[in-house]
Amino acid sequence: MTNVILFFTLCSIDHKLLYMQQTCIHCGDIYRGRTDKKYCSSSCRSSYHNKVNYKDLFPLKKINNLLKNNYKILNQLTYKNKPVKTSKENLVNAGFNFNYFTNTFPAKNGQTYFFCYDRGYLPLDNGLYSIVVKRELMN
Ligand SMILES: [Zn+2]
């Protein structure tokens, strides 16, 4: 009999603990819910995870956008899929960022091609840049 009373007392304590008043970690609203619940609603849970993911992925997105922008510029210059020459000034004025590229490829003259995906550039001795499509180099 004592064991049964003790069992019900523990259950009722557990029940109270499981449905406590809590604060949503996303919006700060007070709600009653299970102690293992962190959000007042599924929309707060989703918003919280989106915010965390955005923060984690922000550097990736920023760099991907820089690479995409570089690619667009190189792609516009090589739209006929043929190499062209342009100046550094033209590239910089178009918004090209020389710090970001996806890979390099050795040139025959000992220089290095810098690629953004399949579009790349080779600095030439005269201050110009040769803008190329990678498949031309592979063939
Ligand atoms: Zn909330």
The answer to whether residue 94 sits within a structural domain is yes
Backbone angles phi and psi of 44, in degrees to 5: -70, -40
The answer to whether residue 5 sits within a structural domain is no
The answer to whether residue 11 sits within a structural domain is no
The answer to whether residue 97 sits within a structural domain is yes
Domain that holds residue 120: 64-138
The answer to whether residue 126 sits within a structural domain is yes
At residue 115, the pLDDT reads 97
Sequence-ordered alpha helix ranges (H) in 1-139:
2-18, 42-77, 88-93, 134-138
Tell how far the Cα of 70 is from the centroid of ligand 1, in angstroms: 41
Q: Show pLDDT as tens, one digit a residue, over the chain (139 residues).
A: 555 554 544 545 555 556 788 999 999 999 998 888 899 999 999 999 999 888 888 889 999 999 999 999 999 999 888 889 999 999 999 999 999 999 999 998 889 999 999 999 999 988 899 999 987 555 4
Spatial contact of 116 and 133, defined as CB atoms under 8 Å apart:
no
At residue 33, the pLDDT reads 86
Tell how far the Cα of 19 is from the centroid of ligand 1, in angstroms: 16
The answer to whether residue 9 sits within a structural domain is no
Tell how far the Cα of 49 is from the centroid of ligand 1, in angstroms: 12
Spatial contact of 77 and 84, defined as CB atoms under 8 Å apart:
yes
Tell how far the Cα of 1 is from the centroid of ligand 1, in angstroms: 44
Tell how far the Cα of 36 is from the centroid of ligand 1, in angstroms: 14
CA distances from 56 to 15, 38, 39, 47, 92 (A): 37, 20, 20, 14, 30
Tell how far the Cα of 27 is from the centroid of ligand 1, in angstroms: 4
At residue 34, the pLDDT reads 85
Model pTM above 0.85: no
Residues near 17 by beta carbon (within 8 Å), at least 6 away in sequence: 35
**Domain tally for the chain?**
1
**Residue 10, helix vs strand vs coil:** helix
Tell how far the Cα of 48 is from the centroid of ligand 1, in angstroms: 9
